[in-house]
């Protein structure tokens, strides 16, 4: 039996859970040099027509964000992967030494 084909609305709940996180603690893997860095440590340029975040190692563009009053455009083609740590059951967030996501992304 083949899986049922649904439209993207079926993934809305799971995607909303994933995109509701403290972004600056997420760890990106650069598509150019494959090094990993928390978003908080990327080089941010805010005076362009939009926001640009560059890799702290090789200066390649990782993330672009342009906002308008009722829409935003997010370009993450400079990122191979974004590792997001989910809160633990006690509400705390694992740090880099306890998160398997960060360890996997850095290898």
pLDDT digits 0-9 by tens, 66-80: 999 999 999 999 999
Cα–Cα distances in angstroms (integers) from residue 72 to residues 19, 26, 44, 75, 86, in the given order: 14, 20, 18, 10, 25
Specify the pTM: 0.74
pLDDT at 18 over 80: no
Domain ranges of the chain: 11-105
Instruction: Give the distance between the most distant pair of CA atoms in the chain.
Output: 53
pLDDT for 80-103, tens place per residue? 999 998 777 776 655 544 333 344
Tell me how far apart the alpha carbons of residues 23 and 66 are, in angstroms, rounded to a whole number: 16
The mean pLDDT value for 21-37 works out to 95
């Amino acid at each position: 039996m083949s899986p049922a084909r649904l439209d993207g609305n079926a993934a809305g709940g799971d995607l909303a859970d994933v995109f509701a996180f403290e972004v600056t603690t997420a760890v990106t893997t650069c598509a150019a040099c494959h090094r990993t860095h928390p978003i908080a440590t990327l080089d941010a340029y805010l005076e362009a027509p939009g926001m640009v975040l560059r890799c702290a190692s090789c200066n390649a563009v990782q993330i672009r964000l342009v906002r308008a009053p009722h829409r935003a455009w997010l370009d993450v083609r400079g990122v191979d992967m974004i590792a997001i740590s989910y809160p633990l059951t006690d509400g705390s967030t694992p740090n880099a030494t306890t998160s398997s996501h960060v360890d996997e992304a850095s290898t």
